[in-house]
Each structure stands twice: as structure tokens, then as C-alpha cells.
Amino acid sequence: MLDIYSNHFFITSILSLILFFIFFKNKNPQRLYKLLALLLLLNISTFNCYLIYSGNYDFKVHLPLHLCYLTEVGILLSIFFKTEYYYGWLLLNSLGGGLSGFLNSNLEADSLFIEYSHLYLSHFNLLLFSIFIYKSKFILTKNTLIKSTLFNALIFLLIVIFNILFSSNYWFTRFKPPGINLTNILPGFPYYLLVLVIIGLISYYCTFKLFSKHRKIKAGI
């Protein structure tokens, strides 16, 4: 049996192949939309229901407050309420966040199976959403980029306060995440956090450049 770190890259490699297949073969964005809605509902509901039912739910760890999981919930809500207003913010988080989740693991070696499946499927959903947006000929504007950056800065501040109050580590503002990830080779607090912020800003800019030219639907934020 592969160790847990090998499993991560093995599984994300398979998921990447599936995404490549969807990207090149699917010509109907609405099919992606329906698939995404199903996967989001399945992932979020099974994760939370299982942890609550089994008595393993810990609000310091399992709330959807990490940016990727917060974005996943936001995508589901945008589908449920049939609104595209926050597509810009969701997209800017999704592409870089999905890729980051495929390249890094932030789980302990003894984490539950449901936690691993949630990690994989959540970031798969973010990348699937990015493909859906691309197929839908979406446009990102500089205004959306600026508003989304400021919005994330506000969320970051609220997360810092939450972590101080409850001794949690959402957004990894207090200490490095476990698992095999980029922070393993970075210096300690606060330098690793500064590097992560810079990477996030670069990700935002690259996503903006990719979606800022040949699109027709404008984002509200």
C-alpha cells in the first residue's frame, strides 16, 4: 500500500486526468453545471453529516473557513440561488486554490478517510468550476480583481480574530499546516504566512490575465 503522501499525488494525478478529459471533451457548460452542483452537494453534505454523526466534528478544524472550502460553499450557494454576481471572486479563489490543493496536503497521517475524500473532491470541484467558467466565456475585470482582493483581506482579518479567540488555525495564520506541503521548506511564523499571501496574490493576477480577454459575461465582484 502506498504511504499517505504517495497516495495524495497518485489520487490527484488521476483526478487531473479526469479534469483534462472533461476540459477537452465536454462542449456543453450546462452539463458541467449540473455535475458540479451534484458533486458539491454530495461532498459538503456527506463530510459534515458523517463527522457530526460519528462525534468527530470539531469546529476548530472542520468549519468551512479555509478559503478553498469557503469558496466551495460559495459556489454551491451561487448555484442554489442562481446568481452569477460572485463568480469573479469564486473564480479567483478556485483556480489557484484547486491547483494548490492538488499539489499540497495539509492533513495529518492519521486523518479520517472522509477528511481525505473531502480534501480531494473539494479541490476537484474548484477546478471543475474553473473549467465551467472558462467554457461559459466568462470575463474578469480589473474592478473585480481589486474588489476580490480587498474582500479576501477583510476575510483574512476576521479569520485571524476567530483563530485568536478559539485557538484554531484556519488559513494557517497561527502555525504551519501538517502534511507534505510548501510550508515544509519555508521558515517559521510569520515568514511562511507572508510567502503564502504573496503566492495568493500571484495566483489572483495569473487567473485575472487568463480570464480577462476573450470573455463576454462580466462579474459583479
Write out pLDDT tens, residues 6-39.
488 889 999 999 999 999 998 888 899 999 999 9
How far apart are the C-alpha atoms of 34 and 52, rounded to whole Å?
Answer: 27
Give how many domains the chain has, as a whole number. Answer: 1
pLDDT at 46 over 50: yes
User: Whole-model pTM?
Assistant: 0.93
* Axis-axis angle for helices 67-80, 142-166 (nearest 10): 120
User: What is the structure's pLDDT at 71?
Assistant: 98
What is the domain extent for residue 79? 4-218
In the DSSP assignment, the letter for residue 65 is T
Cβ neighbours for 170, distance < 8 A, ≥ 6 positions apart:
63, 65, 66, 159, 162, 163
List pLDDT tens digits, range 93-145.
Answer: 999 999 999 999 998 878 888 999 999 999 999 999 999 999 998 999 999 99
* pLDDT tier at 218, thresholds 50, 70, 90: low
Note whether 159 and 196 are within 8 A (CB). no
Residue 171 Cα distances to 65, 136, 163, 196, angstroms: 8, 30, 9, 10
Peptide bond into 190 cis (omega under 30): yes
Residue 171 identity (one-letter amino acid): W
Residue with cell 472522509: 114
pLDDT at 215 over 60: no
Q: What are phi and psi of 161, to 5 degrees?
A: -65, -45
